[in-house]
Amino acid sequence: LDTIDYDEHLDNVRKVYKMKCDALLNAFNKYASSKVHLTKPTGGMFAWMTMPAEVNCDDFFEACMDRNVGIIKCGAFAADGAGEGHAFRLSYTVPTVEEITKGMEILGALTKEFCGE
């Protein structure tokens, strides 16, 4: 462990995750419904996507799962476990830039479908 340059390692990790985050943001802007909001990450490795109130988020979630696009409902992160809402957490830690772009293309098409566009 003494031979590792941690500053260099952290710089490399930051570059990789910035590239992945940028891919997610760019693909969202290109493919998603204009009625859907994405909170740009200011740290961490996740983005939050919020659907309009009229969208049935359980059906949207199932449609994403049916197309092998993994998202997590916001209720999973509620301290009391009761947090139902219209937000989903999107992670860019594991997938490649290509997988992020493809997943966001599918997700974007679903947002348009569920938002009536």
**87-91/46-50 β-pairing:** antiparallel
Q: What are phi and psi of 51, to 5 degrees?
A: -90, 155
Q: What is the pTM of this model?
A: 0.88
Q: Which pLDDT value is given to residue 83?
A: 59
CA distance 36 to 96: 24
Fold of 6-114: Aspartate Aminotransferase, domain 1 (3.90.1150)
For 16-25, 35-44, 79-88, 90-99, which range has the lowest pLDDT when averaged over its residues?
79-88
Angle at 93 between CA 85 and CA 58, to 5 degrees: 25
The residue that leads in pLDDT, 31 or 72, is 31
Region 95-109: what's the mean pLDDT?
Answer: 97
CA distance 111 to 37: 11
Region 88-102: what's the mean pLDDT?
Answer: 95
**Residue 32 neighbours by CB under 8 Å, 6+ apart:** 38, 49, 104, 107, 108, 111, 112
Mean pLDDT of all residues belonging to the chain? 91
pLDDT in tens, 47-90: 999 999 999 999 999 999 999 999 988 877 666 666 567 889 99
